[in-house]
């Protein structure tokens, strides 16, 4: 069945460091892919999405490219801020939304 | 995008009791969903709330334990029945405006439930 695998955290970075959170998927066909973010004490917010191969989703300085060759959708940001500290979930749209286990990011000043 | 609110935001309950969580959307959505997020875990879909018909439950979840109502296109409730400490989780509802599509969902802030 469809599944999503995320790199395990926690990820701890200093402010202005480069961020990569790996996400790979297994699915039939080419489902839409998403990154959701959950800030402390809050619900999930859609961060970015890509609906077809080679699409790049971007928002708030974060980017992810839909790579069908490697079945990946890695999240990147060139310079993280303390306010980016949150849990990040990769997800794919199969018969339902399927989430990865989440990666906790902590950014210190 | 739709704005989703949930009530209560958190609650502490005694085992054996039941809690009903309300989910309100500020616009009509075709699909509504209920998820559970256990401590330190990812989201697990409990059920899809269908307007005008019974909810569709995922494997491992049953109507007697998690009855769901969906009286209209902007509102749904989830009841956690006969609670035990294992039910301590965050419960989230979401909505998807696209008919028949799971492509994008907007989430409520969640209800943090602690069962003693």
Mutate to test the interface with A, among B37, B58, B60 (most CBs of A within 10 A): B37
B72 φ, ψ to 5°? Answer: -155, -175
Please tell me whether residue A82 adopts helix, strand or coil conformation. helix
Please tell me whether residue A62 adopts helix, strand or coil conformation. strand
Please tell me whether residue B116 adopts helix, strand or coil conformation. coil
Which pLDDT score, from 0 to 100, does residue B97 have?
A: 76
Which pLDDT score, from 0 to 100, does residue B100 have?
A: 47
How close B82 gets to chain A, by Cα (Å)?
Answer: 25
Helix or strand (DSSP H, E) at B36: strand B31-37
Using a CB-CB cut-off of 8 Å, the residues of chain B touching A34 are 104
In order along its 116 residues, chain B shows pLDDT tens digits of 678 999 999 999 999 999 999 999 998 888 899 999 998 888 999 999 988 888 999 999 999 999 999 999 999 999 999 999 999 999 999 998 765 455 678 899 999 999 99
Read off the pLDDT of residues A7-33 as tens digits, 9 standing for 90 and up.
Answer: 888 999 999 999 999 999 999 888 999
- Tokens, residue A80: 């993280």
For A51, nearest residue in chain B (alpha carbons): B103
The dihedral over CA atoms of A56, A57, A61, A64, expressed in degrees to the nearest 10, equals -60
The dihedral over CA atoms of A97, A103, A107, B1, expressed in degrees to the nearest 10, equals 0
Q: CB–CB of A44 and B107 under 8 A?
A: yes
Question: How many whole angstroms separate alpha carbon B95 and alpha carbon B89?
Answer: 20
- A51-62 burial by CB neighbour count: b if 16+ within 10 A, else e? eeeebebeeeeb
Number of A/B CB contacts below 8 angstroms equals 49
φ/ψ bin of B13: left (φ > 0), alpha (ψ from -120 to 50), beta (otherwise)? beta
Choose among B16, B1, B23, B31: nearest CA to B91.
B23
Q: CB–CB of A42 and B109 under 8 A?
A: yes
Peptide bond into B39 cis (omega under 30): no
A12 φ, ψ to 5°? Answer: -120, 120
Q: What is the DSSP string of B83-103?
A: --GGG-EEEEEEEE-STT--S
Residues contacting residue A1 through CB under 8 Å, at least 6 positions apart: A94
In order along its 109 residues, chain A shows pLDDT tens digits of 889 999 888 999 999 999 999 999 999 888 999 999 999 878 889 999 999 999 999 999 999 999 999 999 999 999 999 999 999 999 998 777 899 999 999 999 9
For B100, nearest residue in chain A (alpha carbons): A95
The dihedral over CA atoms of B11, B114, A102, A109, expressed in degrees to the nearest 10, equals 70
């Amino acid at each position: 069945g469809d599944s999503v695998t995320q790199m395990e955290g926690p990820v701890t970075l200093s402010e202005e460091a480069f961020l990569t959170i790996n996400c790979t998927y297994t699915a039939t066909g080419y489902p839409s892919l998403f990154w959701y973010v959950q800030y402390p004490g809050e619900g999930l917010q859609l961060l970015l999405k890509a609906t077809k191969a080679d699409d790049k989703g971007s928002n708030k300085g974060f980017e992810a490219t839909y790579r069908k060759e490697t079945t990946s959708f890695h999240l990147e940001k060139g310079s993280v801020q303390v306010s980016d500290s949150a849990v990040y979930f990769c997800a794919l749209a199969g018969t339902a939304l399927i989430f990865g286990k989440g990666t906790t990011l902590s950014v210190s000043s | 995008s739709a704005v989703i609110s949930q009530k209560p935001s958190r609650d502490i309950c005694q085992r054996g009791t039941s809690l009903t969580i309300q989910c309100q959307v500020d616009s009509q959505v075709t699909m509504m969903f209920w998820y559970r997020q256990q401590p330190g875990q990812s989201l697990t879909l409990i059920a899809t709330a269908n307007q005008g018909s019974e909810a569709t439950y995922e494997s491992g979840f049953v109507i007697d334990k998690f009855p769901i109502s969906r009286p209209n296109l902007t509102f749904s409730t989830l009841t956690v029945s006969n609670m035990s400490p294992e039910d301590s989780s965050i419960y989230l509802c979401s909505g998807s405006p696209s008919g028949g599509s799971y492509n994008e969902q907007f989430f409520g802030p969640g209800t943090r439930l602690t069962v003693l």
